[in-house]
Structure formats: C-alpha cells, structure tokens
Amino acid sequence: MMNNVRRRLGIKLFLSYLVVVFVGVIVLAIASQFTLPGAFDRHMQGLGGGMMGVGRGPGMMSGVFNDFRASFNETLLYAAAAALIVAVAVSIFFSRGVIAPLRAMTDASQRIAAGHYDERVQINGDDELAQLGMRFNQMAEKLEQVESMRRRLIGDVSHELRTPLTAIKGSMEGLMDGVLPATHETYQQIHTEADRLNRLVDDLQELSRVEAGSYHLDIKPIDISSLVQTVAKRLALQFESKRISLDLELAPDLPRVQADEDRAVQVLTNLVGNALQYTPENGKVSMSATRLNDEVQIAVHDTGIGIPPQHLTHIFDRFYRVDKSRSRRAGGGSGIGLTIARALVEAQGGRIWVESEGEGRGSIFAFTLKTVK
C-alpha cells in the first residue's frame, strides 16, 4: 500500500489536499472550543440590559451555554463533513488536472524512446505544466532533427564511399579481364580514387573531433596579416598553374586577434581552396582583412561559378554541394570542409557566412575573429 502511494503522484496530491482540509478542521474545532465561552459571555452581557426582570440564575445560564455549545458542535460537525466531501471532489478534479499532462508526457516519452520522434504533447494554458510541455516538445523536435541528420549522414557517407569504391572495383575488374591496359594511367586512376577514400576518412575523423569538441585550441594573440600572407604563399603555385590571380587587400594597422593560429590557417586555406576550385581559368580571387568594432573580418572574394540564393543557407551543411556532379568531375573534396570550418570559427568565438549574387556572379566567404583587448 505504502509503496503504491510513493509511486503515484496523483494519490500524493489527493492525500495532501485532504491533509490540509483535515488540519484546517482540527484547528477550527480547537480554536472554537477555547474562544466559545468568552464569546458567549460577552454576547450575554451585551443582552443583559434587554433581559431585565428575566430570571438569570447560574443553573439557567449553564444550561443555556451547554445547549449553545451542543448546537455549535453539531453545526461544526455538519460543516466539516460538507467541507470534506467538497474537498474530496475538488482534490480529485485538481489531481487529474495535474496528472493528465504528466501522464501524456510519460506516454509520449516512451513512444519517443521506441523511435517515434514525431510525438508531441498537447499544450493547454501557460502555467508551469504548459511550459514543461512546451520544453518537452522542443526536446522532441531536436531529437527528430538529430535523427534526421543521422540518417542523412549515413546515407551521404555511404554514397560518398560507394563512388570511389565503384571506380576502383571497375578498374580492377577491367585489369583482370584484360579490358583495361595495365598502363600508368590506369594505375594512376586507381590511386586517385583510393586517395579520395583516404581524404574522406580523414575528413570524417576531423569532423567527428570538431563536432564533439574533443580537440585543443591554443588561443593566443596572432597577427592576421601574417596569417593571410602565409595562406597566400602556400597556394601560390596552384593559382599560377590554373592562371588565376590571387590578390591581398589588407587594411593598415590591423589589430591582433585572439585565435588558434593553426586552426585559423586551416579555415582560411579551406575557403581559398574552394575559391580556387570553383573559379574558372583567368579568374580572380582576393583575400581581404578589415576591422569591424571588436572583430577583424577576413573575406575571400572570387569571380567563380557563384551560388544560387536557395543554396546559401545550406552551404555549410555536411556533404552539401550546389552541383554534386560538377564537383565530382572537378575532383572536389568530401563536402564537409565548410562544416569543419564553421565549427572551428565558432569555437574561437567568431562568425562565418557566405554571400553571392547568384549563379555565375562569384561568391564571398567571410569569417570574423575577436581582437585582443
């Protein structure tokens, strides 16, 4: 019995209401018994002037008081019984009002645990229980989004792995059947696809570490001009081979920023590498750095293929490509470099975004880092 009471919130609420009523009745009864004689005497003294000539012996007064107390106690008993009945009804009503939404959330949580992430609870009112229900629905929505992202990630990874594996398998079968010649070009093609697999695995490991926050950031003051020039020197030969100009536009007297130098170089290299990848021959890419209040904005402008407006909000999603087929033909990366870049910038307290006026009109990838105070 006691274990059942401990486990049932409805019974606890019901009993708590009854205990409150019972204690109130007891206090009322005790207080009335102590105050009743004095109140009776004062009342009778007030009527003394109107009762002149009427016999008021001690025996008579005692009998009147006893009759009055008996009638008062009888009335108090009926009132207590009526209050108890009403209290039971009200307790049941309010207990159900509290228990019903909690039971609904319990049932919904069990269905969510079973994999039904579209479950939601109905919200009535704006009290604490309604706020709890709203938070529950927000949690369920987040879980549904996470599950959707997990499934999409598994599908994307499977698709990305299948492409080079299919190419490697096809080339090897061609070599075994004698359809493909055992030339340097054939082996180079197999090596290229194997290298794509290796880069994809490395990128997935990096993404896992970045999103889990299991990496160390060595935040310290760094010179942003030196950082931009370092990236420019690293990629200079690639720009020359593709006949694309790389310009630097650095504002004078740039303040130092608080950042991890290696990670900042990684982010900027990724953005400039994307600009190089999607800018046609004889195009132009420029890196700029300007101060904005307590931040320094680093931007990469290109005259490349551009990004249609409907793709701008998804450009930092995992494996997202504006044109997947063109990206693969062009030897594009894994499709998660921008996702990693966003996570690294935000981990250093900055912001990252993309702007484009449309397809064929170039793009601007920009991010900010906090200045040294």
Summarised one tens digit per residue, pLDDT across range 22-34 is 777 777 777 677 6
What pLDDT shows up at residue 323? Answer: 58
What pLDDT shows up at residue 198? Answer: 84
CA atoms lying within 13 Å on the CB side of residue 89 = 5
What pLDDT shows up at residue 154? Answer: 79
Low-confidence ranges of the chain (pLDDT < 70): 1-14, 17, 31, 34, 36, 38-61, 97, 127, 320-335
β-pair type (257-259, 295-302): unpaired
What pLDDT shows up at residue 244? Answer: 93
Contact yes or no for 294/371 (Cβ under 8 A): yes
Collapsed DSSP state (helix, strand, coil) of residue 218: coil
Looking at CATH, the fold of the domain delimited by 151-212 is given as Helix Hairpins (1.10.287)
Helix (H) or strand (E) holding 353: strand 352-355
- For 20, residues 6+ apart whose C-beta sits below 8 A from its C-beta are none
Distance of CA 356 to the CA centre of its chain: 28
What pLDDT shows up at residue 58? Answer: 59
Spatial separation of the C-alpha atoms in residues 331 and 242, rounded to whole Å: 14
Q: Which two tokens stand for residue 213?
A: 């926050």
What does the domain layout of the chain look like in residue ranges?
2-46+61-116, 151-212, 220-370
DSSP readout, 72-136?
HHHHHHHHHHHHHHHHHHHHHHHHHHHHHHHHHHHHHHHHHHTT-TT------SSSHHHHHHHHH
Judge if 151-212 and 220-370 fold alike in CATH terms: no
What pLDDT shows up at residue 303? Answer: 92
Looking at CATH, the fold of the domain delimited by 220-370 is given as Heat Shock Protein 90 (3.30.565)
